[in-house]
Each structure stands twice: as structure tokens, then as C-alpha cells.
Amino acid sequence: MTNNIPSLDLHDFTHGTAEQKRRFVEELGRAYEEVGFVAIRNHGLSDALRDELYAEVIKFFALPLEVKKKYEKPELHGQRGYVSFGREHAKDHPAPDLKEFWQFGQEVTDDDPVKYEYPPNIYCEELPRFNEVGMEVFRRLEEAGKYMLRAIALYLGLEETYFDDKIRHGNSILRPIHYPPITEEPRDSVRAGAHEDINLITLLMGASADGLEILNKAGQWVPVTALPEQVVVNVGDMLQRLTNNRLRSTTHRVVNPPRDQWHVPRYSIPFFLHPRSEMRLDCLPSCIDEDHPCLYPPITAGEYLEERLREIGLKA
């Protein structure tokens, strides 16, 4: 366990013996049924690349607001480029989150027609390495996520590659987030209100400061801190829906620090692994029985994403 969540080695799945692979699948599935979060090591993202991206992210958010605002495109509903402070809020929690962020999206380099569904990425002219390192981390985490979903598929009794074609050129997002110093009484706002992620799974690099908490089955908020070499991977609502709640999307939040730490900013960089918009999220037949009737109506990933973007304030 790493500070209340199980810790697993992805190398056991990708390069281990048949027994190591079987055990990884079993432990991962059990963790997702019981906790919803795991910490993964040997995920393919080097310490050097992670540290370089954090350095570039800190540089970007230190730019003057008028420079950052050049990269905010309201017509893209926050799906690319810069999203200014206070724009987003948790579902059913109207107080704005105390954060600003940037979004890198999928880049399709072949003739897959899905490329026309995605807006082009926005590039920061002042910091060319910010763009380059961001997309390199995007690709590394996307690859790690593919193997995590292969393990999940096996746990669910599906073909190992069940998710492969559904996430190829998926609508994934890498989101560097800046939670600025708190300068006045925040009232009802926190750095990130209690929420569940929209996507299939989220891969989260270790943050620069504490604050992440998850809601356990006993209804208690438990702090989670990943070690620097780990990536925390949690179930999102799309996977919960697909599995008819067998794998649960865990509620989590980022709380405000103690008053004596209000001056300390926080940075985090989650990777939201989304499928292609046409993927169906209808509950898997293997997850439905007399004791577990189907809980959700049929819907595609694209339709579900649109619905959720409206609920969190990024789309009208």
C-alpha cells in the first residue's frame, strides 16, 4: 500500500511470468472493486521527463495573465489550450474550483478520419519545450494506460485487447493544473471540489504538494500521496458505467491547505484517458445478472462527454 492505496508494478504485467501477470490482473481488479485507485511503478515515464514537464508547467503558469489569455479559446469549451482561474466547478457544486489549467489533446498523424473530430492543439509560442515535453508525456501515459486497460479487460473476462481499438486515437487529455496561493478566505471554494472523473481511467503523476483525498467505502476522506516514481491510476465514470458499477469511480477532491500553507502553490498533471467518441458505454452483458440489473441507459462515449462538460461548466 502507498498511503492508503495498493501499489503495483506494471512490469509484472508487461514483462513478467504468466503467474506474475495473473497476479497483477487479480490484484488490480480487486483494488478497483474495493478502492478505485492504485499506484503504479515502471509505467514508462522517466523521472527526467516528469521533472522537465513540471519545470515547463511552472514556467507557463508564471507567465503574465494577458499572455496566458491569448491561449484561451472559449469556443473550444476548455478542450485545448488555457482555461482561466475559476472557470470549472465540480458537478453539483456551483462554487468554482481554485485552479487554472492547460489541456493538451490527441494528435492524429495518419489518415484516421477521427482526426477531423478533434480541434488542433494550441501551442505556447513563448515556451516551445512546454509543448514538446507535454506531448511526449501524453504519449507515454497513453501507452501505459493501454496496458492498464488490457489488465482490466482480462479481469472482466474480456479479450485482452478489447479496449485497444476503442482507445486508439481516443479523445484523451493531458491537463497540467496550477492551484495558485490562496490570498483570501475561500468561502465554499476548494482547490478541486469532490468529483468523479469522466473518462475510462486517469493516470496522475505525483503532485507538487499534498491535498488529494479519496472517499473510502466507510464514507471517510483519506489523503493519498504517490511516491515520486509512481503514477496513480483511478477508475473513471465511463468505466464504471461500462461495468455496471462493478468497477467503481471513486469520489476524490483536492482540499485547501492549512492556513499557514496558503502561500504555497500546487501543481498536478493528470492524464484523462478517453476512448473514441463512437465507443458504446452500454453495460457489459457479463456485468449484468439477477442481482445486478442494468443501471444505465445506452449511450456513446461522445454523448456522455458532452453531457458531463455541461454539468461542470465548460460547455453551455
Residue 2 is assigned to a structural domain of this protein: no
Question: Is the confidence at residue 309, as pLDDT, over 90?
Answer: no
Q: Which position has the higher pLDDT, 216 or 150?
A: 150
Residue 192 is assigned to a structural domain of this protein: yes
Q: What is the pTM of this model?
A: 0.91
Domain that holds residue 94: 7-311
Per residue in 241-281, pLDDT (tens digit) is 999 999 989 898 887 777 777 878 889 899 999 999 999 99
Per residue in 158-208, pLDDT (tens digit) is 999 999 999 999 999 999 999 888 777 766 566 667 888 999 999 998 755
Residue 1 is assigned to a structural domain of this protein: no
Count of domains forming the chain: 1
**Sign, Cα dihedral of 225, 199, 60, 49:** positive
Residue 316 is assigned to a structural domain of this protein: no
Residue 83 is assigned to a structural domain of this protein: yes
What is the CATH classification number for the domain harbouring 19? 2.60.120.330
